[in-house]
A and B are shown apart, each in its own frame.
Chain A
Amino acid sequence: MIVQQALGTRFWTALALIIGLVGPVQAQQTRIDPGRDSVSVILQDATVTISRDGPPCPPACIQPMQSAPGVTTWGEIELIDFLAGPVASGTGLLVDTRLPEVHAIRTLPGAVNVPQATLSPDNPYRPDLLTALGVGSAGGAFGLLLFSDGAADPLARMAVTSLLDAGYPADRLYYYRAGLSGWMALGLNTVPGG
């Protein structure tokens, strides 16, 4: 009571408002990528700030455009051409790197499910998987277009890195960064995973 009288009504009003308004905004802010919470840039004489609200990063960090050196990043048009060309002729695969449960609900048309966990070096059965993908075979490795849920889902990029570490040729790997959410945002159709 003594403190109240000393500081006055307006002070406490202001304090209550500050706590009430600033609190919620602070709670949802998340990182842009592992190294950055928000970015402030001084342009001419104005400061520009970029911040992010959303699911926590890690793991849902924004992925860079290039997944790995030598691996091309593609968009929707290139993906459709890839499906009509190499995948249809049997030299390419459209790979969904998400878990089977999620893949079964909804995925890109023509995608096969190769969960990222099966490509990680922890998987002792990975060599058989790589053989099935054509590594070391006479016909050469399949062209793989990898995607996951979106530009904030690290699975596809992790799969690319794992494949490169396992010796997969970089020029046979492609990265569809926009993922399922980018695909659907453009109004393109999806199918249940098979």
Chain B
Amino acid sequence: MRKIIFKVLLVLIGINFLYVLSGVIHYPLYHVDVYSIWLLKAKAFFIYGGFPLNFLKTIGYSHPQYPVFLPFLYSLVYQVIGEVNELYLLALYPHIYLLILYLAYQLFLKLRITKTRSLFFVYLYSMFSPLLAQAGREHAGMADIVLTLIYWIAIHVAYQIVIKQKKRLIWVIVFLVTVASQIKFEGIFLIWIIWFLPISKKKRFFWSLLSGVPAVVWIYLRSYLKIPGDYGVGLAAVNQIMPELLVVIKGIVAEMLNIKNWYVFWIAFWTVIIIQKSKDKFVMKVIEPTILLMAGSFIIMYFLIQLDTAAQVSSSIDRIMLQLSPFYYTFFVHRTSIVFDKMS
């Protein structure tokens, strides 16, 4: 019976893969951010044959202040194929989706969840609308799913460091933080995972500083090269903090109740948090505190960005939830699995 269920789940995940692949083939270049930020800059790198500084200074709507590592990587794909052909690039996205699902499956197995149950939870995850969207359903080309992949890899590496005591792998975490921070600035928030690894405080501080260097270099370079930003950053007035916090919380709750994107996942999530505590050392000591600090960092980021907070939250919160899904979905799966174990 379990073998049959396992095979059925594989088929269902396969259907999702074909669905996102079909999306890439039949609806390429749909989301405005894809053709006005990520692929636009990739095209500029390819066409200008180097760092497109003058281009970045003139194309204000394209968030010129964003790090350019991902568009640069995409331009290398164009270099290999010899032309700007978006389909070759976007076809990577369904494969990123599959890799994410595979990493999720392997992590659940490591948390001592059975094969069939792990695959079942992977299938549930594979049906998240924001994940399907960025895997190929009209949002292929966005950067958030790439961060999701990096965070899954980081969790695996952290597991090796914490549980298997392979502390030399700290270099890999530092590398992943630097890459994430050069894809989108908020990728730097992955730095919090370093603080829950079994190393001394001095080493945590050192590795955190090291992994933050590329982000600082990019901020300096932007200023030196006079690359403009399309929004400012600054502290809100003290009397504005509470009203802004309420706006942020309202936006987050509204997204969690967005049935189209999440159906009833967030209701199940908050309920399982109430009824079941985590029991796994890795989940309790690494996953949960890291997601708390990463989420807190995003909330602070909303205060610092000088744009209308409500608009900023509503336009970005679904993508941020996708980015953070490796963390919160892992401890949701862990706790739900314990609930089911108690029932059987």
Chain B binds chain A = no
